[in-house]
Amino acid sequence: MMLDNLISQKEVMQKHFCENAPGPDEIWAYQELLYRIHVLETLKMLCQTAPCCTDVQMIIPHYHMVDAYIRHLSLERQFGKPRDDAHQKQRQTALASLNTIIGDYRRRFKSFKPASAELYGTEITKVICTVIAAWITHRNCYINLAIEEATAA
């Protein structure tokens, strides 16, 4: 649903850009929108391709891809409009929360042994959903698409 909303928002913005030259705030919002769509599509694909088995050796390569991608999300694109100290503290708190979630799932999966073929897919999807919520909060500390859209209108 979030992905569908972002894709719809992208289409609206593209139409708007055909009619009006975008300003810097709209360009920032649009590039953030494209970035979020890409991330959510990638995470969706990782959920869909989770191995359905109990063989840990089959699961490990997929888990490594998921883990690397998520850890990278916590490090990239930490830029946005300059903010005051309170807003900077909010950014740090959101990043710390995301990193806590990453640390938690990494500890849980360190000795993961699925009892059923569906367990890994179910568990990695839960992890990804939890990460998405924290990642969106983190991203909104840099560029809040709802706010950017309202100021551009």
- Give dist(CA 135, CA 81) in Å, integer: 18
Residues contacting 97, CB < 8 A, separation 6+: 134, 137, 138
Amino acid letter, residue 110: K
- Least confident stretch, 21-35, 37-51, 74-88, 100-114: 74-88
Where along the chain do its domains lie? 2-75+84-152
Beta strand segments in the chain, E: none
Q: Give pLDDT tens digits for 9-64.
A: 899 998 998 999 888 888 888 999 999 999 999 999 999 999 999 999 999 999 99
pTM of the model: 0.86
Residues contacting 15, CB < 8 A, separation 6+: none
